[in-house]
A and B are shown apart, each in its own frame.
Chain A
Amino acid sequence: MAETVRNLESETLDVVLLGSFNPAILHPQWFLRQKLIGEEEALAAKIKVVATEVTDVSFAGIHIICLNQSLILNIQNMAFSTKLFDLIDGVLNLLPHVPLHACGINPSAHYRIETIEYWHKIGHTLAPKKLIWEPLFPEPGMQNLTIRSPRKGDYAGFVNITVEPSSLVNPGLFVKTNTHYDVPAELRESGGADAVRKFIKNESASACEQARRVAAKIFAEIKPNG
Protein backbone atom coordinates (compact mmCIF):
# COMPACT_ATOMS: atom_id res chain seq x y z
CA MET A 1 0.00 0.00 0.00
CA ALA A 2 2.78 2.41 0.89
CA GLU A 3 4.19 2.43 -2.66
CA THR A 4 1.39 4.43 -4.10
CA VAL A 5 0.40 6.42 -1.04
CA ARG A 6 3.21 8.95 -1.45
CA ASN A 7 1.56 10.93 -4.22
CA LEU A 8 -2.00 9.89 -3.56
CA GLU A 9 -4.22 12.97 -3.44
CA SER A 10 -7.66 11.46 -3.28
CA GLU A 11 -9.31 8.09 -3.42
CA THR A 12 -12.97 7.25 -3.75
CA LEU A 13 -15.11 4.19 -4.18
CA ASP A 14 -18.40 3.58 -5.92
CA VAL A 15 -20.42 0.40 -5.86
CA VAL A 16 -23.04 0.13 -8.57
CA LEU A 17 -25.83 -2.44 -8.46
CA LEU A 18 -28.05 -2.97 -11.48
CA GLY A 19 -31.46 -4.54 -11.09
CA SER A 20 -34.93 -3.47 -9.98
CA PHE A 21 -35.16 -1.24 -6.95
CA ASN A 22 -37.71 0.64 -4.91
CA PRO A 23 -35.95 3.94 -4.15
CA ALA A 24 -38.66 5.13 -1.77
CA ILE A 25 -37.73 2.75 1.00
CA LEU A 26 -34.13 3.90 1.23
CA HIS A 27 -34.76 6.63 3.76
CA PRO A 28 -32.16 7.08 6.51
CA GLN A 29 -34.83 6.26 9.08
CA TRP A 30 -35.33 2.88 7.39
CA PHE A 31 -31.62 2.17 7.74
CA LEU A 32 -31.82 3.21 11.37
CA ARG A 33 -34.82 0.98 12.10
CA GLN A 34 -32.99 -1.92 10.53
CA LYS A 35 -30.01 -1.14 12.79
CA LEU A 36 -27.74 -0.64 9.79
CA ILE A 37 -26.70 2.82 10.98
CA GLY A 38 -26.65 4.60 14.32
CA GLU A 39 -28.95 7.31 15.63
CA GLU A 40 -26.41 10.08 15.18
CA GLU A 41 -25.78 9.01 11.61
CA ALA A 42 -29.50 9.01 10.83
CA LEU A 43 -30.04 12.37 12.48
CA ALA A 44 -27.17 13.92 10.56
CA ALA A 45 -28.31 12.45 7.23
CA LYS A 46 -28.59 14.77 4.25
CA ILE A 47 -31.74 14.03 2.32
CA LYS A 48 -32.06 15.53 -1.13
CA VAL A 49 -34.97 13.44 -2.24
CA VAL A 50 -36.68 10.22 -1.27
CA ALA A 51 -39.35 9.30 -3.80
CA THR A 52 -40.64 6.41 -5.82
CA GLU A 53 -38.47 7.30 -8.80
CA VAL A 54 -35.28 8.45 -7.17
CA THR A 55 -33.60 8.65 -3.80
CA ASP A 56 -30.52 10.74 -3.07
CA VAL A 57 -29.35 10.64 0.52
CA SER A 58 -26.05 10.82 2.38
CA PHE A 59 -25.20 9.51 5.81
CA ALA A 60 -22.32 7.91 7.66
CA GLY A 61 -19.92 9.05 4.95
CA ILE A 62 -21.91 7.19 2.30
CA HIS A 63 -23.77 8.84 -0.56
CA ILE A 64 -26.63 6.76 -1.95
CA ILE A 65 -28.41 7.37 -5.23
CA CYS A 66 -31.14 4.93 -6.13
CA LEU A 67 -33.12 4.84 -9.33
CA ASN A 68 -35.51 2.11 -10.40
CA GLN A 69 -32.78 0.31 -12.33
CA SER A 70 -29.68 1.15 -10.37
CA LEU A 71 -28.37 1.65 -6.88
CA ILE A 72 -25.14 3.61 -6.54
CA LEU A 73 -23.26 3.94 -3.27
CA ASN A 74 -20.28 6.26 -3.05
CA ILE A 75 -17.70 7.10 -0.43
CA GLN A 76 -15.18 9.92 -0.69
CA ASN A 77 -13.07 8.50 2.10
CA MET A 78 -11.82 4.94 1.76
CA ALA A 79 -11.84 4.67 5.54
CA PHE A 80 -15.54 3.88 5.19
CA SER A 81 -15.19 1.07 2.65
CA THR A 82 -15.95 -1.62 5.22
CA LYS A 83 -18.95 0.34 6.42
CA LEU A 84 -20.12 0.64 2.81
CA PHE A 85 -19.88 -3.08 2.13
CA ASP A 86 -21.51 -3.91 5.46
CA LEU A 87 -24.38 -1.61 4.55
CA ILE A 88 -24.85 -3.29 1.18
CA ASP A 89 -24.71 -6.69 2.83
CA GLY A 90 -27.30 -5.59 5.36
CA VAL A 91 -29.63 -4.19 2.71
CA LEU A 92 -29.41 -7.30 0.54
CA ASN A 93 -29.89 -9.49 3.59
CA LEU A 94 -33.11 -7.61 4.33
CA LEU A 95 -34.22 -7.59 0.69
CA PRO A 96 -33.16 -11.03 -0.52
CA HIS A 97 -35.60 -11.14 -3.42
CA VAL A 98 -34.61 -7.89 -5.09
CA PRO A 99 -33.81 -8.76 -8.72
CA LEU A 100 -30.15 -8.03 -9.45
CA HIS A 101 -28.24 -8.69 -12.63
CA ALA A 102 -24.89 -6.98 -12.16
CA CYS A 103 -22.60 -5.39 -9.63
CA GLY A 104 -19.58 -3.17 -10.11
CA ILE A 105 -16.95 -2.26 -7.54
CA ASN A 106 -15.29 0.88 -8.77
CA PRO A 107 -12.38 2.47 -6.91
CA SER A 108 -10.65 5.53 -8.30
CA ALA A 109 -7.61 7.50 -7.28
CA HIS A 110 -5.88 10.76 -8.15
CA TYR A 111 -2.08 10.96 -8.01
CA ARG A 112 0.12 14.00 -8.12
CA ILE A 113 2.88 13.79 -10.74
CA GLU A 114 6.11 15.63 -10.00
CA THR A 115 6.68 17.26 -13.36
CA ILE A 116 4.90 17.94 -16.62
CA GLU A 117 7.63 16.01 -18.42
CA TYR A 118 6.99 12.90 -16.35
CA TRP A 119 3.25 13.33 -16.85
CA HIS A 120 3.74 13.39 -20.63
CA LYS A 121 6.09 10.44 -20.42
CA ILE A 122 3.41 8.38 -18.72
CA GLY A 123 0.87 9.34 -21.38
CA HIS A 124 3.25 8.64 -24.26
CA THR A 125 4.23 5.28 -22.80
CA LEU A 126 0.65 4.16 -22.23
CA ALA A 127 -0.51 5.50 -25.60
CA PRO A 128 2.38 5.79 -28.08
CA LYS A 129 1.86 8.60 -30.56
CA LYS A 130 4.62 8.18 -33.13
CA LEU A 131 3.11 5.53 -35.42
CA ILE A 132 -0.45 6.79 -35.85
CA TRP A 133 -1.17 10.06 -34.15
CA GLU A 134 1.81 12.35 -34.69
CA PRO A 135 1.70 12.02 -38.49
CA LEU A 136 -1.95 13.00 -38.41
CA PHE A 137 -2.32 15.59 -35.63
CA PRO A 138 -0.10 18.13 -33.91
CA GLU A 139 0.83 17.46 -30.28
CA PRO A 140 -1.45 14.50 -29.67
CA GLY A 141 -2.09 13.85 -25.99
CA MET A 142 -3.75 11.01 -24.16
CA GLN A 143 -7.10 11.98 -22.67
CA ASN A 144 -8.43 8.59 -21.77
CA LEU A 145 -7.22 5.03 -22.01
CA THR A 146 -9.51 2.15 -21.12
CA ILE A 147 -8.46 -1.47 -21.05
CA ARG A 148 -10.83 -4.36 -20.47
CA SER A 149 -9.82 -7.69 -19.05
CA PRO A 150 -12.17 -10.65 -18.67
CA ARG A 151 -12.68 -12.21 -15.28
CA LYS A 152 -13.25 -15.93 -15.12
CA GLY A 153 -14.08 -18.27 -12.27
CA ASP A 154 -16.89 -18.09 -9.75
CA TYR A 155 -17.62 -14.44 -10.31
CA ALA A 156 -17.39 -14.01 -14.05
CA GLY A 157 -17.38 -10.60 -15.59
CA PHE A 158 -14.61 -8.22 -16.51
CA VAL A 159 -12.45 -5.40 -15.25
CA ASN A 160 -12.38 -2.05 -17.01
CA ILE A 161 -9.26 -0.05 -16.22
CA THR A 162 -9.21 3.62 -17.16
CA VAL A 163 -6.29 6.04 -16.96
CA GLU A 164 -6.74 9.75 -17.57
CA PRO A 165 -5.19 13.08 -16.67
CA SER A 166 -6.41 14.01 -13.22
CA SER A 167 -9.11 16.63 -12.86
CA LEU A 168 -8.04 17.26 -9.29
CA VAL A 169 -4.32 17.87 -9.48
CA ASN A 170 -2.25 19.28 -12.30
CA PRO A 171 -0.16 17.52 -13.38
CA GLY A 172 -1.82 14.42 -12.07
CA LEU A 173 -2.93 10.95 -12.97
CA PHE A 174 -6.39 9.53 -12.50
CA VAL A 175 -6.90 5.79 -12.35
CA LYS A 176 -10.23 4.08 -12.00
CA THR A 177 -11.21 0.47 -12.26
CA ASN A 178 -14.58 -1.20 -12.67
CA THR A 179 -14.69 -4.77 -11.42
CA HIS A 180 -17.89 -5.91 -13.04
CA TYR A 181 -19.77 -9.05 -12.03
CA ASP A 182 -22.61 -10.43 -14.10
CA VAL A 183 -25.09 -12.32 -11.98
CA PRO A 184 -25.74 -15.68 -13.65
CA ALA A 185 -28.91 -15.57 -15.74
CA GLU A 186 -30.68 -18.21 -13.67
CA LEU A 187 -30.26 -16.11 -10.51
CA ARG A 188 -31.31 -12.74 -11.83
CA GLU A 189 -34.97 -12.93 -10.80
CA SER A 190 -34.35 -14.75 -7.54
CA GLY A 191 -31.09 -15.39 -5.82
CA GLY A 192 -29.25 -12.43 -7.30
CA ALA A 193 -28.99 -10.66 -3.97
CA ASP A 194 -27.28 -13.62 -2.38
CA ALA A 195 -24.97 -13.99 -5.37
CA VAL A 196 -23.97 -10.33 -5.15
CA ARG A 197 -23.40 -10.64 -1.40
CA LYS A 198 -21.02 -13.51 -2.02
CA PHE A 199 -19.29 -11.62 -4.80
CA ILE A 200 -18.76 -8.65 -2.50
CA LYS A 201 -17.64 -10.84 0.38
CA ASN A 202 -15.05 -12.62 -1.74
CA GLU A 203 -13.96 -10.01 -4.25
CA SER A 204 -14.38 -6.58 -2.67
CA ALA A 205 -10.98 -6.45 -0.99
CA SER A 206 -9.06 -7.16 -4.17
CA ALA A 207 -11.41 -5.03 -6.28
CA CYS A 208 -10.83 -2.06 -3.99
CA GLU A 209 -7.07 -2.39 -4.50
CA GLN A 210 -7.22 -2.45 -8.30
CA ALA A 211 -6.77 1.29 -8.86
CA ARG A 212 -3.78 1.35 -6.51
CA ARG A 213 -2.33 -1.75 -8.18
CA VAL A 214 -2.54 -0.14 -11.60
CA ALA A 215 -0.99 3.09 -10.35
CA ALA A 216 1.78 1.20 -8.57
CA LYS A 217 2.60 -0.67 -11.76
CA ILE A 218 2.65 2.51 -13.82
CA PHE A 219 4.96 4.26 -11.34
CA ALA A 220 7.17 1.18 -11.05
CA GLU A 221 7.58 0.69 -14.79
CA ILE A 222 7.65 4.29 -15.96
CA LYS A 223 10.28 6.27 -14.09
CA PRO A 224 10.70 10.05 -14.30
CA ASN A 225 14.28 9.70 -15.51
CA GLY A 226 14.27 6.13 -16.72
Chain B
Amino acid sequence: MAEEQQSTQTPLAEWAVGAAQTSAALALSQRERLFLLPQRITERYQLSAQKGARIDPQTAATTTPTDKNGNRRGSNLMGTTVEAPRVHSARSGIAERFSMVRKYEGRIIRRDADTFWAEFRENPDDSPIEAEFEIDALPASDRPLAVAGVPVVWTVGFDIQDGTHRQQSIVYLRRIPWPSSAEV
Protein backbone atom coordinates (compact mmCIF):
# COMPACT_ATOMS: atom_id res chain seq x y z
CA MET B 1 0.00 0.00 0.00
CA ALA B 2 1.22 3.47 -0.75
CA GLU B 3 0.29 6.89 0.52
CA GLU B 4 -1.69 9.07 -1.87
CA GLN B 5 -0.13 12.37 -2.95
CA GLN B 6 -0.22 14.75 -5.87
CA SER B 7 0.95 12.86 -8.86
CA THR B 8 2.94 13.58 -11.97
CA GLN B 9 1.44 10.58 -13.70
CA THR B 10 0.10 11.40 -17.11
CA PRO B 11 -3.52 12.48 -16.89
CA LEU B 12 -5.87 9.98 -18.47
CA ALA B 13 -7.88 12.67 -20.17
CA GLU B 14 -6.45 15.90 -21.34
CA TRP B 15 -7.44 19.28 -20.00
CA ALA B 16 -9.79 17.67 -17.53
CA VAL B 17 -7.55 17.56 -14.50
CA GLY B 18 -4.00 18.51 -13.78
CA ALA B 19 -3.08 15.02 -12.79
CA ALA B 20 -4.85 11.71 -12.81
CA GLN B 21 -4.87 11.41 -9.07
CA THR B 22 -5.73 14.93 -8.04
CA SER B 23 -8.65 15.33 -5.72
CA ALA B 24 -12.19 15.71 -6.96
CA ALA B 25 -12.28 19.27 -5.63
CA LEU B 26 -9.31 20.29 -7.70
CA ALA B 27 -10.74 18.59 -10.74
CA LEU B 28 -13.99 20.46 -10.32
CA SER B 29 -12.26 23.81 -10.08
CA GLN B 30 -10.26 22.87 -13.14
CA ARG B 31 -13.42 22.19 -15.07
CA GLU B 32 -14.91 25.47 -13.97
CA ARG B 33 -11.93 27.22 -15.43
CA LEU B 34 -12.74 25.86 -18.86
CA PHE B 35 -16.04 27.63 -19.38
CA LEU B 36 -14.40 29.93 -21.88
CA LEU B 37 -14.07 26.95 -24.18
CA PRO B 38 -16.79 25.83 -26.58
CA GLN B 39 -19.87 24.66 -24.79
CA ARG B 40 -20.18 21.45 -26.72
CA ILE B 41 -17.49 19.49 -28.46
CA THR B 42 -18.18 16.27 -30.25
CA GLU B 43 -14.97 14.53 -30.79
CA ARG B 44 -13.67 11.05 -31.16
CA TYR B 45 -10.81 11.30 -28.75
CA GLN B 46 -7.91 9.11 -27.90
CA LEU B 47 -5.73 9.10 -24.90
CA SER B 48 -2.01 9.26 -24.86
CA ALA B 49 -1.24 5.83 -23.60
CA GLN B 50 -4.43 3.91 -22.99
CA LYS B 51 -7.57 4.61 -24.91
CA GLY B 52 -11.06 4.35 -23.58
CA ALA B 53 -10.73 6.04 -20.22
CA ARG B 54 -12.84 9.00 -19.24
CA ILE B 55 -13.35 11.32 -16.34
CA ASP B 56 -16.53 10.77 -14.37
CA PRO B 57 -18.24 14.19 -14.26
CA GLN B 58 -19.49 13.70 -10.71
CA THR B 59 -16.48 12.25 -9.01
CA ALA B 60 -13.63 13.14 -11.36
CA ALA B 61 -12.63 9.53 -11.10
CA THR B 62 -11.28 7.93 -14.21
CA THR B 63 -13.32 5.06 -15.58
CA THR B 64 -12.98 2.66 -18.44
CA PRO B 65 -15.89 1.66 -20.65
CA THR B 66 -17.81 -1.55 -20.13
CA ASP B 67 -18.91 -4.15 -22.62
CA LYS B 68 -22.41 -5.58 -22.98
CA ASN B 69 -21.82 -7.86 -20.01
CA GLY B 70 -20.77 -4.99 -17.83
CA ASN B 71 -17.12 -5.95 -17.78
CA ARG B 72 -14.53 -3.26 -17.81
CA ARG B 73 -12.50 -3.10 -20.95
CA GLY B 74 -9.00 -1.85 -21.02
CA SER B 75 -8.78 -1.73 -24.71
CA ASN B 76 -11.37 0.14 -26.65
CA LEU B 77 -11.38 3.37 -28.52
CA MET B 78 -14.23 5.44 -27.26
CA GLY B 79 -16.30 7.49 -29.62
CA THR B 80 -18.11 9.92 -27.39
CA THR B 81 -19.84 13.20 -27.04
CA VAL B 82 -18.13 15.45 -24.59
CA GLU B 83 -20.03 18.34 -23.16
CA ALA B 84 -18.47 21.38 -21.61
CA PRO B 85 -17.14 22.13 -19.14
CA ARG B 86 -15.28 18.86 -19.55
CA VAL B 87 -13.14 19.11 -22.63
CA HIS B 88 -11.14 16.32 -24.16
CA SER B 89 -8.84 16.68 -27.07
CA ALA B 90 -7.32 14.21 -29.43
CA ARG B 91 -3.72 13.24 -29.33
CA SER B 92 -2.55 12.32 -32.73
CA GLY B 93 -0.38 9.33 -33.44
CA ILE B 94 -2.31 6.38 -32.10
CA ALA B 95 -3.36 5.25 -35.59
CA GLU B 96 0.25 5.58 -36.69
CA ARG B 97 2.62 3.96 -34.25
CA PHE B 98 6.35 4.07 -33.85
CA SER B 99 8.79 1.60 -32.51
CA MET B 100 12.33 2.82 -31.97
CA VAL B 101 15.03 0.20 -32.30
CA ARG B 102 18.27 2.16 -32.10
CA LYS B 103 19.13 5.63 -30.93
CA TYR B 104 22.52 7.22 -31.45
CA GLU B 105 23.76 10.53 -30.13
CA GLY B 106 26.83 12.30 -31.38
CA ARG B 107 28.28 15.35 -33.06
CA ILE B 108 28.83 16.51 -36.59
CA ILE B 109 32.47 16.09 -37.46
CA ARG B 110 32.51 17.73 -40.91
CA ARG B 111 30.29 18.84 -43.75
CA ASP B 112 30.38 20.01 -47.33
CA ALA B 113 27.72 21.55 -49.54
CA ASP B 114 25.58 18.42 -49.86
CA THR B 115 26.65 16.09 -47.08
CA PHE B 116 27.51 16.00 -43.43
CA TRP B 117 29.27 13.36 -41.42
CA ALA B 118 28.66 12.67 -37.76
CA GLU B 119 30.20 10.46 -35.14
CA PHE B 120 27.73 8.57 -32.96
CA ARG B 121 27.59 6.31 -29.96
CA GLU B 122 24.59 4.30 -28.84
CA ASN B 123 25.94 4.16 -25.29
CA PRO B 124 28.61 6.38 -23.77
CA ASP B 125 31.11 3.50 -23.50
CA ASP B 126 30.60 2.24 -27.06
CA SER B 127 33.13 2.71 -29.81
CA PRO B 128 31.99 5.52 -32.08
CA ILE B 129 30.48 4.90 -35.48
CA GLU B 130 30.57 7.39 -38.31
CA ALA B 131 27.57 8.02 -40.52
CA GLU B 132 27.05 10.16 -43.60
CA PHE B 133 23.83 12.03 -44.33
CA GLU B 134 22.63 14.22 -47.12
CA ILE B 135 22.16 17.75 -45.92
CA ASP B 136 18.63 17.55 -47.34
CA ALA B 137 17.77 15.19 -44.50
CA LEU B 138 17.53 18.30 -42.33
CA PRO B 139 14.85 20.99 -42.53
CA ALA B 140 15.97 23.96 -44.64
CA SER B 141 16.28 26.28 -41.65
CA ASP B 142 18.53 23.79 -39.84
CA ARG B 143 20.96 23.27 -42.71
CA PRO B 144 23.10 26.35 -41.99
CA LEU B 145 23.37 25.15 -38.39
CA ALA B 146 24.87 21.80 -39.38
CA VAL B 147 28.53 22.55 -38.74
CA ALA B 148 31.27 20.62 -37.02
CA GLY B 149 30.67 20.18 -33.31
CA VAL B 150 26.90 20.51 -33.34
CA PRO B 151 25.14 17.76 -31.36
CA VAL B 152 22.99 15.48 -33.49
CA VAL B 153 20.62 12.57 -32.88
CA TRP B 154 19.97 9.66 -35.22
CA THR B 155 17.31 7.05 -34.61
CA VAL B 156 16.34 3.94 -36.48
CA GLY B 157 12.98 2.29 -35.98
CA PHE B 158 9.70 1.32 -37.50
CA ASP B 159 6.67 3.31 -38.45
CA ILE B 160 3.68 1.00 -38.14
CA GLN B 161 0.65 2.10 -40.10
CA ASP B 162 -2.36 -0.14 -40.62
CA GLY B 163 -0.22 -3.11 -39.70
CA THR B 164 2.50 -2.29 -42.20
CA HIS B 165 6.00 -1.84 -40.81
CA ARG B 166 8.18 0.68 -42.59
CA GLN B 167 11.75 1.30 -41.64
CA GLN B 168 12.27 4.79 -40.36
CA SER B 169 15.46 6.78 -39.96
CA ILE B 170 15.29 10.18 -38.29
CA VAL B 171 18.17 12.60 -37.90
CA TYR B 172 17.91 15.95 -36.20
CA LEU B 173 20.15 18.60 -34.73
CA ARG B 174 19.96 19.38 -31.08
CA ARG B 175 19.15 23.03 -30.52
CA ILE B 176 20.64 23.16 -27.09
CA PRO B 177 24.24 22.10 -26.66
CA TRP B 178 24.61 19.48 -23.98
CA PRO B 179 25.96 19.74 -21.33
CA SER B 180 23.64 22.66 -20.73
CA SER B 181 24.01 25.59 -18.41
CA ALA B 182 22.02 23.62 -15.83
CA GLU B 183 25.19 21.71 -15.14
CA VAL B 184 27.20 24.79 -14.27
Contacts and interface: CB of A to CB of B under 8 A. Distances in A.
Contacts of A86: 174-176, 178
B48 A56 contact: no
Contact of B18 (A70, A80, A81, A89): A70
A22 interface: no
Most buried by A among B15, B34, B77, B175: B175
B170 interface: yes
Contacts of B19: 16, 18, 70
Interface stretch (B88-96, B108-116, B129-137): B88-96
Given A12-B49, A35-B175, A72 B11 contact: yes
B180 A201 contact: yes
B-side interface mostly: loop
Contacts of B48: 12, 14, 74, 108
B33 A53 contact: yes
Nearest to B173: A38
Given A18-B8, A143-B72, A40 B15 contact: no
Interface of A: 1-2, 5, 8-12, 14, 16-18, 35-41, 46, 48-49, 51, 53-54, 56, 58, 63, 65, 67-70, 72, 74, 76-83, 86, 89-90, 92-93, 102-104, 106, 108, 110, 143-144, 148, 158, 160, 164-168, 170, 172, 174, 176, 178, 180-181, 194, 197-198, 201
Q: Which 3 A-B pairs have the closest CB atoms?
A: A104-B8, A76-B93, A197-B182
